[in-house]
A and B are shown apart, each in its own frame.
Chain A
């Protein structure tokens, strides 16, 4: 069920990120969600795209180190306290959340957040049991 995210290692140089997005544009790959973790010298772009394999292939062909990993994606109401409710469930279950990010646009008054957790399978089961709606990749379009 987990959603596949693409992670790309980027040297922190002027124009380097644009090189990356140019490749995605050239291959008509739409970013449904994206976030960047960075230090002074490096960044890691994490993103949700509809065809992660194709994105990785086109990026590695141009010399980027890109890889695929699982994240938990859940739909939440676009209102205060919604994220907190989800994170509270994971905290109570003792599941660590390394980072979260959200979709670029929110459709139908709903938003989606992506979470990197210490245990994807358990996190999904616990969230589902608590009545949180998990997203598929199509939900994130």
Chain B
């Protein structure tokens, strides 16, 4: 499949697209109404280019359909729920049928194969397990291959290294920042990279830099691969970089990519940078048609020296919205705002400061107290801090430090306020 000629691939994509659109039209009234409004019927999709007739799905569509309004399959056929942050207090809920799970495993398995992993290898999975798709996604891929899977999850770096040494782990799957943490701990422990069995690593879920890649490759004695994905589409494995390290191969028999101009929403040709849009071609639990990922990148066509013919996507250069990725978790300033709004002691004058310290992302909220608030008690301030930090953790799923400021301290800007300062370096 990955080396199929273009005509075979396009014919398969068209057939699957037509089936997906028909299935979505018949099973998701919300999207059917969108199609009706756009004046397009499933039978209008005659060529792959006709996809441009179809309306987009956005994260706002997912939010108004919380929790399961966009599910196309009946709940009895849904075998798994995963979730990622929504733009408000409510998360995005994604449901998978058994077929969707199998396809997800297949997509990740192809990515792990690009890392050179086979059934005799030991897969060391240090992504978080749970609603986050990282851990269970990589896990499914390694199982599909038939490798020996160690479901480490994140944390306890000393134990990670012990397993790595004693179980002779071959391939590491985790976020790039955690890989760097492991690499530094390995060096500190006086272990030489050549003493580890690791050969390759599959890293994703957050932006990372070339210098991070160099440090990880040198520190662990491995070759680093990129993996891309998002929960709405399925999870990690939508695209993975091969040994050539020149773009990530999209599993395009399962996921159809487009690049559009984020302003006009008109399609852009390969090589031009714009917003990445994905249509799932086989998903049945919660199909996504023309889902706007908000990630900015470009597509590369042509056969790769590795032999694969699938289209490749470049690394992600940025976002068309204000979403932040902190510790691999999606964070929207609007989520923070819903928390602040619950406290009458606070104002909506706030600033989110994101930084990276010791290879780990940090997020801090600076927020002003309401004017006229009587503060004569340090206990009051400490209690407020605890309450706000707790409420933030409930919604963001990660710890966010809170710092209170006097009313009127933050600079007021004219027009759109600058709410986020990201001090992490991406080069």
Q: Is residue A37 contacting chain B, with contact meaning CB distance below 8 A?
A: yes
Q: Min CB distance, B404 to chain A, in Å?
A: 7
Residues of chain B within 8 A (CB-CB) of A63 are 406-409
B381/A9 in contact, CB under 8 A: yes
Indicate if the CB atoms of A42 and B378 lie closer than 8 Å: yes
Asked whether A11 and B381 contact (CB < 8 A) given A44-B376, A46-B376, the answer is no
Which residues of chain B come closer than 8 Å to A46, judged between CB atoms?
376
**Nearest chain A CB to B14's CB is how many angstroms away?**
60
Give the residues from 23 to 44 in chain B that come closer than 8 angstroms, CB to CB, to chain A: none
Given contacts A9-B369, A41-B403, A42-B404, contact A67 B376 (CB under 8 A): yes
Q: Which of A11, A39, A64, A67 makes the CB contact (< 8 A) with B378?
A: A39
Report B-chain residues with C-beta under 8 Å of the C-beta of A98.
Answer: 377
Looking at the complex, which one of B373, B375, B381 makes contact with A39 (CB distance below 8 Å)?
Answer: B381
Q: Is the CB of B375 within 8 A of A7?
A: yes
| Most B-side CB within 10 Å, residue of A46, A65, A116 | A65
B405 sits at the interface (CB 8 A): yes
Output the nearest chain A residue to B402 by Cβ-Cβ distance: A41
In the assembled complex, the CB of A104 is this many whole angstroms from the nearest CB of chain B, namely 20
In the bound assembly, the distance between CA atoms of A65 and B405 in angstroms comes to 9
With A42-B381, A44-B381, A65-B369 in contact, do A11 and B374 touch (Cβ < 8 Å)?
A: no
Do A65 and B375 have beta carbons less than 8 Å apart?
A: yes
CB-CB under 8 A for A65 and B381, given A7-B374, A7-B375, A9-B369: no
Query: Is A7 a contact of B376 with CB atoms below 8 Å?
Result: yes
Q: Which residue of B lies closest to A116 (CB)?
A: B376
Which residue of chain B has the shortest Cβ distance to A42 in the bound complex?
B381
Interface bracket on B: 10 to 19
The dominant DSSP class at the B interface is loop
A64 touching B406, Cβ below 8 Å: yes
Give the distance to chain B from A119, nearest Cβ to Cβ, in Å. 16
Q: How large is the interface on A (under 10, 10 to 19, 20 to 34, 35 or more residues)?
A: 20 to 34
Q: Which residue of B lies closest to A38 (CB)?
A: B378
**Chain B residues within 8 Å of A39, by CB:** 378, 381-382
Main SS class of interface, A = strand
Number of cross-chain contacts by CB at 8 Å: 50
Interface membership of A69, Cβ < 8 A: yes
- Chain A nearest CB from B400 CB (Å) reads 15
**Residue contact A11 to B406, C-beta cutoff 8 Å:** yes
Q: Given the interface contacts A41-B403, A42-B404, does A65 sit within 8 Å of B382 by beta carbon?
A: no
Using an 8 Å CB-CB cutoff, how does the interface string of A21-48 with B read, 1 for contact, 0 for none? 0000000000000000111011110100
B409 touching A37, Cβ below 8 Å:
no
Give the contacts of A87-141 with B (CB-CB under 8 A): 98, 116
Decide if A67 touches B381 in the complex (CB within 8 Å): no
Residues of A within 8 A of B381 (CB): 9, 39, 42, 44
A44 touches B378 (CB 8 A): yes
A44: which of B369, B372, B375, B409 is its contact (CB, 8 Å)? Answer: B375
For window 333-374 of B, CB contacts with A under 8 Å fall at 369, 371-374
Instruction: Return chain B residues, CB-CB under 8 Å to A42.
Output: 378, 381, 404
**What per-residue 1/0 map shows which CB atoms of B102-130 lie under 8 Å from chain A?**
00000000000000000000000000000
Contact with B along A2-32 (1 / 0, CB 8 A): 0001010101000000000000000000000
In the complex, A67 Cα to B376 Cα: how many Å? Answer: 8
Kindly provide the distance from the CB of B383 to the nearest chain A CB, expressed in whole angstroms.
11
What 8 A-B pairs are tightest by C-beta distance, nearest first? A7-B376, A67-B374, A9-B375, A37-B378, A63-B408, A65-B406, A69-B376, A42-B381
Interface CB pairs A-B, < 8 A, 24 = A5-B376, A7-B374, A7-B375, A9-B369, A9-B375, A9-B381, A9-B404, A9-B406, A11-B404, A11-B405, A11-B406, A38-B378, A39-B382, A42-B381, A42-B404, A60-B371, A63-B407, A63-B409, A64-B406, A65-B371, A65-B407, A67-B375, A67-B376, A69-B374
